[in-house]
């Protein structure tokens, strides 16, 4: 058998086209292999670069062959290129999608690197929470914008869509108003996300009071915030809420906080021993940070006086535990040392014969006195 019988006819357009595609794929593989090795070597000294290379490697495996195949279409013979023009357009749309995927993965890699090098599981995590909040909100916003732009560019490659867009521009006034009203919630949350990232009224792991509920900011997305309530429920709050509605942020500038304990006692209770007991409780509690320890009489009425113990802690969680310890310790101290000065209710009672109602006596013989009953 002659070797010319099985050798392909390179003069045929389709054969030349197939050879061009094969060469393009081989070159694409070599380019990807070499570029991947160079990028990994350059990223050894840069943690963010290493994260980007690791996350963007998969999209690059699609981008490089698509680019080379599209270049092969440009240099291919005219006859096959005309026959598979639809395939070229499909590959172009795929390239747009791969580039969008690549940009989204790069943005995610930057966010992951910032979060990894700024952990929030520390005692003083204010800077880390600020950086994580900025990176997370801006990354989510950037991903949304990138995906929307990628879809828009891909759609504009279709002639029918371009004509439809031109017809829409003719009635841009009414259409713009309608689209603006329809997209108001989306755009409002998008702008609110940028505001939160820049001004930071809230951050990741902030302690907030929202709708009367105490909780921590667990997650900030491009449209809503997840607040983890103390009993492990989750409250989903739109981003615009934190721009338009007042709320409490207990860790805006620092996690340190003052906690108060209010107790009612009788006027006869000596205060100095009680202050000494408060000092003993605080010094024995690991939750007390040593900044503030004050006891004052802050209110009074016809039944007794109200005492406030003011103590400080490094964060709100420790403050709650310390307040409970102080409340329990002071009550136990008064019950043990001065039980007569616990809150009582006063009443007037007339003398009665044991088991039998006493006979009426003249008013001057009546004896009125003050007795106490446990409140």
Tens digits of per-residue pLDDT, 149-172? 888 788 777 776 666 555 544 554
Q: How far apart are the C-alpha atoms of 238 and 261, rounded to whole Å?
A: 34
The alpha carbons of the chain give a radius of gyration, in whole angstroms, of 38
Alpha helices in 118-183 (DSSP H): 126-156, 159-170, 172-182
Q: What is the three-class DSSP state of 269?
A: coil
Bigger pLDDT: 213 or 181?
213
CA separation for the pair 3, 7 (Å, rounded): 6
369 phi, psi to nearest 5 deg: -145, 170
pTM for this model (two decimals): 0.54
Q: Report the pLDDT value the prediction gives residue 75, as an integer from 0 to 100.
A: 64
Whose CA is closest to 108, among 33, 186, 178, 54? 54
Say whether pLDDT at 347 is over 80.
Answer: no
- 260's CB contacts (< 8 A; 6+ apart) are 308, 309, 310, 311, 323
3 state SS of 305:
strand
Question: What are the pLDDT digits (tens) for 243-294?
Answer: 888 999 988 888 889 999 999 999 889 999 999 999 999 999 999 999 999 9
Model pLDDT, residue 297:
94
Answer for the pair 227, 234: CB distance below 8 angstroms, yes or no: yes
Residue of 240, 244, 241, 214 whose CA lies nearest to 227: 214
pLDDT at 21: 66
Kindly state the percentage of the chain with pLDDT values over 70. Answer: 67
List pLDDT tens digits, range 78-113: 555 555 666 777 878 888 888 898 888 888 888 888
Of 159-163, 291-295, 351-355, 367-371, the poorest mean pLDDT is in 367-371
The answer, yes or no, to whether residue 68 has pLDDT greater than 50, is yes
Range name among 115-129, 151-165, 173-187, 270-284 with the lowest pLDDT average: 173-187
Alpha helices, DSSP H, located in 43-84: 47-75, 78-83
């Amino acid at each position: 058998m002659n070797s010319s019988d099985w050798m392909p006819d390179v003069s045929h357009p389709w054969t030349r086209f197939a050879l061009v595609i094969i060469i393009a794929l081989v070159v694409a593989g070599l380019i990807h292999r070499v570029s991947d090795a160079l990028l990994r070597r350059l990223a050894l000294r840069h943690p963010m670069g290493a994260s980007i290379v690791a996350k963007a490697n998969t999209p690059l495996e699609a981008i490089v062959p698509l680019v080379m195949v599209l270049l092969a279409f440009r240099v291919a013979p005219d006859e096959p290129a005309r026959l598979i023009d639809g395939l070229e357009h499909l590959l172009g749309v795929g390239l747009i999608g791969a580039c969008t995927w690549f940009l989204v993965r790069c943005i995610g890699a930057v966010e992951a690197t910032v979060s990894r090098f700024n952990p929030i599981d520390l005692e003083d995590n204010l800077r880390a929470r600020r950086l994580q909040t900025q990176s997370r909100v801006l990354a989510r916003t950037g991903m949304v914008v990138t995906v929307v732009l990628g879809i828009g560019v891909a759609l504009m490659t279709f002639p029918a869509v371009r004509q439809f867009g031109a017809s829409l521009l003719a009635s841009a006034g009414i259409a713009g108003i309608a689209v603006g009203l329809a997209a108001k919630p989306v755009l409002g949350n998008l702008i609110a996300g940028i505001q939160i990232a820049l001004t930071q009224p809230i951050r990741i792991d902030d302690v907030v009071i929202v709708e009367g509920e105490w909780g921590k900011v667990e997650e900030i997305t491009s449209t809503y915030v997840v607040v983890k309530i103390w009993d492990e429920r989750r409250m989903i709050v739109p981003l615009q809420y934190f721009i338009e509605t007042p709320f409490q942020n207990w860790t805006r500038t620092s996690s340190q906080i003052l906690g108060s304990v209010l107790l009612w006692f009788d006027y006869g209770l000596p205060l100095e021993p009680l202050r000494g007991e408060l000092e003993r409780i605080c010094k024995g509690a690991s939750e007390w940070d040593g900044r503030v320890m004050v006891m004052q009489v802050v209110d009074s009425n016809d039944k007794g006086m109200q005492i406030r113990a003011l103590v400080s802690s490094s964060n709100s969680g420790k403050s709650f535990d310390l307040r409970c310890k102080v409340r329990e310790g002071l009550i136990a101290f008064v019950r043990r040392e001065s039980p007569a000065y616990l809150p009582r209710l006063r009443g007037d009672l007339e003398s009665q014969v044991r088991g039998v109602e006493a006979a009426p006596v003249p008013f001057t013989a009546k004896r009125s006195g003050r007795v106490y009953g446990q409140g």
